[in-house]
Amino acid sequence: MKAKLTQTQKTAIVSLVYPLFSLALIFALWAITAAATGSDLLVPSIGTTFEGLFDLLRQKSTYVDVAATLLRAARGFVLSFAIALLLSVGAAFAKPFARILAPIVAIMRSTPTMSVILLCLLWTNTQIAPVFVTVLIIFPLLYTAFYSAITGVDKKLVEMAKVYKVPFATRLLKLYIPSTMPAVFSSVRSTLSLTVKLTIAAEVLAQTKNSMGVDMQLANLYLDTPLLIAWTLIAIVLGAVLELAVFALGKLCMRWKNA
C-alpha cells in the first residue's frame, strides 16, 4: 500500500509546484518571444543572457558593485526602519503627535518617486543620494504599517493590563511586540525588494560610482541587452533572497512567540 501524504506534505508540494510552473511559463514565453523577434538587441535568447550572466559572475568587479549597492540599500532601509518605528510609537501613544505627522506622511507618500530622486540629486552628492531617496520613500510606507499595527492591538487587553497595573516592560514584551510582530515582518518583507529597486534607480540617475545602477546604464548605453537583462536577473535574485531571509526570520520569531 502506498503511504498517504500528510496535509503538511501536500501543502509543501503545492507551494513548490506553483512557483516552478510560473518560472517555466516565464522562460517559455521568453524563448518564444526571442525566437519571434530574432534579435538579441530587442529580446536576447535565454542562452545568450545566461552566458552574459555567468561572465558577470566570474568578474570580481561584479561582487564589488553588488556589495556597494546592497550596502546603500541597507543603510537606507535601516534608517527608514528606525525613524518609522520611533515616530510610529510616539504617534500611537500621543494623538496630537499623530495628527501633526499625518499630513507630512501623506505628502511623502504622494510625492512622485522621480521628483524625490531628482530633488535628492540637487541636495546631496552621488553617494548619499540613493540612501536619501530610500529613506524618503520607504519611511512613510513603514510608518503607516507600524502605526496601524500598534494602534490595532486589542484594546480590551490593553485596558486589562492597565487595570491590573501590569508593568510597561511586561506589556511591551508580552502584548505589544507579539501582537505587532506579524505586521512588522510583513511590511519589512514587502519593502526590502522595493528598497533595492529604488537604490538602483537612484544610482542610475546619480551616476553613483561602483553601483549596479551605473552597470545597468552602461549596458543600455552600449546596447548590450543581454548584459542589461543579466544585471536585472541579479537584482531580482537579490530581492528574492532578502524576502526569503525575512520570511524565515519571521517564522522563527513566530515560534518564539508561540513558545
Q: What is the per-residue pLDDT across 126-162, written as a single tens digit (0 to 9) for each?
A: 888 899 989 999 999 999 999 998 888 878 887 787 7
Residues 2 and 181: their CA atoms lie apart, in Å, by 41
Give the 3-state secondary structure of residue 111: coil
Decide: residue 81, CB within 10 A, 0-12 exposed, 13-18 middle, 19+ buried. Answer: buried
The pLDDT tens digits of the residues spanning 183-198 come to 888 888 889 889 999 9
Q: Is 242 exposed, middle or buried (0-12, 13-18, 19+ CB in 10 A)?
A: buried
- For residue 159, give the amino acid letter: E
- Enter the pTM of the model: 0.85
Predicted local distance difference test score (pLDDT) of residue 229: 93
Which of helix, strand or coil describes residue 152? coil
Of the candidates 198, 186, 203, 171, the one whose C-alpha atom is nearest the C-alpha of residue 89 is 171
Whether the CA torsion 169, 173, 175, 181 is positive or negative: it is positive
Retrieve residue 8's grid coordinates: 503538511
**Residue 5: φ, ψ to 5°:** -75, 140
Dist CA 242 CA 191 (whole Å): 10
CA distances from 23 to 17, 19, 204 (A): 10, 6, 28
DSSP H helical segments within 152-224, as ranges?
A: 155-163, 168-171, 177-206, 212-221
Q: Can you tell me the distance from the alpha carbon of 84 to that of 188, in angstroms, rounded to the nearest whole number?
A: 11
Instruction: Please name the helix (run of DSSP H) or strand (run of DSSP E) that holds residue 108, with its range, or none.
Output: helix 95-110
- Which cell is 116 given? 524625490
Rounded Cα distance between 33 and 35, Å, is 5
**How high is the pLDDT of residue 258?**
57
Report residues of the chain scoring pLDDT below 50: 1-2
What residues have CB less than 8 Å from 91, skipping those under 6 apart? 97, 98, 101, 147
Q: What is the 3-state secondary structure (H, E, C) of 127-149?
A: CCHHHHHHHHHHHHHHHHHHHHH
